A and B are shown apart, each in its own frame.
Chain A
Amino acid sequence: MRSAARDEIRDALAREFDRLPVPSADVFARTMAVYQAESRLRAPDAPGAGLGGLLARGTTALLLAVLPPVAAETLASNLDLRKGPPGDRGLVPGSVLKVAHLFGLA
């Protein structure tokens, strides 16, 4: 194919790719929520016990409960949390009690 024809297709594709959607603000919010939760738990001075630890675990539990399944699974996996039995995604949006149980809060 001549280079001019190749350039024409390249330019036409680029114009159409430019019109593709952009990610919603919700994706950014979810990403930062996981980032902040993980950051807190990985911090060297993160409290592992006491009221501070309880609050940290509670915050993460609530976060896991409201995240979409994929994000919740990823976060739970990264935090080495126990998952549910096969067939059960383990952590699903809204399962506050289940998540809280994993953290020893219920």
Chain B
Amino acid sequence: MSIPDRELVRRIAAGDQASFAALYRDYSVRLYRYALVRSGSKDLADDALQETMLAAWRSAGGFRGESSLATWLFGICHNVLSHLLRRSREAVASGYVLGTETDPWPGEDGRLDLLEALCRLDEGHRTAVFLVYYQEFSVAEAAAVMGVPEGTVKSRLFTARGWLRRQLQREEYPANAISGER
């Protein structure tokens, strides 16, 4: 049986290393992929994951359970990554996907067309798409993570969907990639 969120965080705040490791195990992939999609940099994603987990540990005593643990962690990750991006002055656009760096995406043909199209969107749109469509956050939760009004998230999703659709049609993206056929 899994430990309730509040109890897990309480144990972490009390210094239980096993609980901290469990938190890492449960959320590291989601947080890492979030940082990767938002920054386009594996190095920044590495640092963001590490700093997010440590920041969560340091502030665990302040977690009241008013939001879900996932929303709380992604909010921390969002702020950590904003700080790292400002400090590193790296371009947000994904150089990896656009071919300026070694491709980290393990696609069968060496690239993922849909992700490539997504990474042509700006950071705010990419982030909204990832949180709502992949992490299955509600619009309200995504807005809380990103620190923007719900209407902004809705607007970004609408714009992103239309943009992706146009891009993929223009590039004659394989029909089965969108229709869901295997």
Interface bin, chain B? 35 or more
A74-100 interface code vs B (CB 8 A; 1 in, 0 out): 100010000000000000000000000
B49→A39 contact, CB < 8 A: no
Among A10, A32, A39, point to the contact of B15 (Cβ < 8 A).
Answer: A39
- Whether A1 pairs with B161 at a CB distance below 8 angstroms is yes
Q: A9-B164, A11-B180 are in contact. Are A17 and B50 (CB under 8 A)?
A: no
Residues of chain B contacted by A23 (CB below 8 angstroms)? 28-29, 32, 45-46, 49
Task: Assess whether A1 is in contact with B17, with CB atoms less than 8 Å apart.
Answer: no
**What does DSSP make chain B's interface, helix, strand, loop or mixed?**
helix
Known contacts A1-B165, A9-B178, A30-B50; A16 and B104 CB within 8 A of each other: no
Cβ of B178: which chain A residues have Cβ within 8 Å of it? 8-9, 12
Q: Tell me whether chain A's interface is mostly helix, strand or loop, or mixed.
A: helix
Residues of B near A38 (CB, < 8 A) are: 54
Asked if A9 and B165 make an inter-chain contact with CB atoms under 8 angstroms apart, the answer reads yes
- Per-residue contact bits, chain B 1-36, to A (CB 8 Å; 1 contact, 0 not): 000000000000001010011001000110011001
- List residues of chain B with CB under 8 Å of any chain A CB: 15, 17, 20-21, 24, 28-29, 32-33, 36-37, 42, 45-47, 49-51, 53-54, 57-58, 84, 104-107, 112, 114-115, 118, 129-130, 133-134, 158, 161-162, 164-165, 177-180
Residues of A within 8 A of B (CB): 1, 5-6, 8-14, 16-17, 19-24, 26-28, 30-32, 34-36, 38-39, 43, 68, 70-71, 74, 78
